[in-house]
Structure 1
Amino acid sequence: MGSEEVGNKFTWVIKNFSTLQYEKIYSDPFVIGGCKWHLLAYPKGNKFNNCLSLYLVVDDSRALPCGWRRYAQFSLTLINQLTEKLSQRGEKQNWFNQRNLGSGFTSLIPLSNLHAKNAGYLVNGEVKIVVEINDLEVIGKLDVSEESEEANQPLKKIKLDDNDAVSIDSLNEISLVKESIDVNGFQVLPSQVESVRRIFEKHPEIAVGFQVKNQHLRKTFMNFLVNVIETLCQSLQELSNEDLVEVDIALTYLKDAGFKVDWLEKKLDQVKEKKEKEQSGLSSVARLGTIEEELQKLKHMVLDLEAQLQKEKAKVLAARAPFSFKDVVY
């Protein structure tokens, strides 16, 4: 794979794209606006559709200070190497934080279009992707000093200093520390105590490889883990395909930090399968609704026919009824 970083743009060249055997691949880290990022792609698509999925992801979030946040307006473009006008471009804006490390597009382009002969997206086995970040707001320290980023930097950027970050986030953090309870060496909120204890009860070795000593970071990662589990506990109607991709990204970061989350990856696969079945069954659900509507119409027709039948019976009985003595006399 190759890459090129210029100003507020980064170009990722993926070689031998057609023969890649990986479910997901990562670009080299790059720096834009003093912040480190990387790209994440699903070259074979995902279980929900046969499309190229592509995301912009914060790189090495463990090194960022507690309370960090980034707001970015960005675009991801699959370059058409024959005709630039046919390039597939998606634009997005997003707040990145410890709970939301990545953002992008689940269905940038159908894989059939990408691999089509002479389509221009796959040339000499290579795919080119360009990310461009135009507006960036950073709360907390930059990954790289601004001096090293001055050259070729047209990026419109707002940087809030540490005091600003403290005024917004750290007061909340301080209040949370006072209310925290220690569970297996992690400071957690009272509302999370039962959940965290349950995690360690079922998976006692989950944090054996997690070597971070800073209590703020330990709490952040544990909160992150709990949020991932809570996300998987949502109903299928609430869970979007993007949510499941973000969980996938989150699990990668937890693994990189030293957590043993293979059991969560299996649960994620199960949820993906259920989501796939739900989506494939939507047509059946719609058909059920149509059948129910038709059945209701038939029931109304039956009731109308029964009412007409009773009226006709009454007329027949009235016509057949003999005169009474009083009718004859009078």
Structure 2
Amino acid sequence: MEKLSEKAFSWEIDNFSERNGVIRSDPFTSGGCEWLLCVHPKGNLVDDHLSLFLHAVNPVSLLPGWRRRASYRLVLLNQSGKELRRTAGERRFFCAEAEGWGSQRMLPLTKLQEEGFLEDNKLTIEVYINVLKVVAEGNLTGNEMVDFRGFHVLNRQAVSVSNIFVLHPDVAVDIRSGIKEVKTAYMNILLGLVETLDKAPHSLSETELTNAESELSELEEAGFKLDWLKPKLEEVSLKRKQAASSHRVSPFECIDFLVKRFFLSCFSEH
């Protein structure tokens, strides 16, 4: 393995133990390519370990068949610069089917919880990259089809699909159908459902919420594991009902409106 002596990026995360969900770094450039780091501080991929991954930035902006061959190393440090953990130097192909690589078991969560392990609750991540080969970079329309873990999706959907699998790696392990067209149709339903639930609750109609419930049930029957999406649907439904009830006109407001309308009509007649 070639020596990785040049640091490509350093990232300090404040209040680390208070963070939830995936944390993404700002994009950075190394070897003429754009990258970002993704951290799962609560062990989203493996329950008892922090997970850390290096990703290609905006893979949908690259031509079909794009590839990057690169060596990388990921290093965890505390605020004083003491090394907590590092990965072995890895040489990987980054491509549409695998646009991110890293470690699911970077550091046990119990270590992070030890008193004094993280100084001032700050974690620093350094990444060392040596880009060995770049193939087929360029712009595209986003309408090209790519194969992502057996799902044929539009290239512009690749990032969204990748994010789902990164955060929920077992989401599709029990899918019953092996037919490409059926799997693609199911994935489009899932992407549409996620997009719907990302909207402001008050902007959704009752029909949209009913359809969302039906789609979630259909996907679960097809074998998708969507326990992570159910609470979101329940939350959006509740907020939508609360927003609707807060805008209801009370009977007293109706009477007041009718009285005012009556007097206005009397004056207009004279």
Question: C-alpha root-mean-square deviation of aligned residues, in Å?
Answer: 3.7
Aligned 1:117-196 pairs, distance under 5 A: 117-119=115-117, 122-141=118-137
User: Structure 1 residue 126: deviation in Å?
Assistant: 1.3
Question: Which structure is larger by alpha-carbon Rg, 1 or 2?
Answer: 1
Matched, 1:224 2:164: no
User: Structure 1 residue 46: deviation in Å?
Assistant: 2.5
Q: What one-letter code is carried by the residue in structure 2 that aligns with 1:220?
A: M
Tell me: CA distance 1:58–1:83, structure 2 relative to 1, closer, same or farther (3 Å).
Answer: closer
User: Structure 1 residue 71: deviation in Å?
Assistant: 0.9
Tell me: CA distance 1:268–1:104, structure 2 relative to 1, closer, same or farther (3 Å).
Answer: farther
**1:285-319 CA-partner distances (Å, limit 9, x unpaired):** xxxxxxxxxxxxxxxxxxxxxxxxxxxxxxxxxxx
Equivalent pair of 2:68/2:94 in contact (CA under 8 Å): yes
Name structure 1 gaps, 5 residues minimum: 1-5, 144-211, 230-242, 272-330
Equivalent pair of 2:14/2:121 in contact (CA under 8 Å): yes
Matched, 1:260 2:192: yes
Matched, 1:10 2:6: no
**1:250-279 CA-partner distances (Å, limit 9, x unpaired):** 99xxx9xx94263579934569xxxxxxxx
SS at match of 1:260: helix
Identity of aligned residues (%): 31
4+ runs deviating over 4 angstroms? 263-266, 268-271
SS at match of 1:87: strand
Higher relative contact order, structure no. (Cα contacts within 8 Å, ≥ 6 residues apart): 2
Aligned residue number for residue 166 of structure 2: 245
Q: What one-letter code is carried by the residue in structure 2 that aligns with 1:74?
A: Y
TM-score for both structures, normalised by structure 2: 0.53
Greater share of helix residues, 1 or 2? Answer: 1
User: Structure 1 residue 228: deviation in Å?
Assistant: 7.9
TM-score for both structures, normalised by structure 1: 0.44
SS at match of 2:143: helix
Equivalent pair of 2:53/2:102 in contact (CA under 8 Å): yes
Match of 2:113 among 112, 115, 121: 115
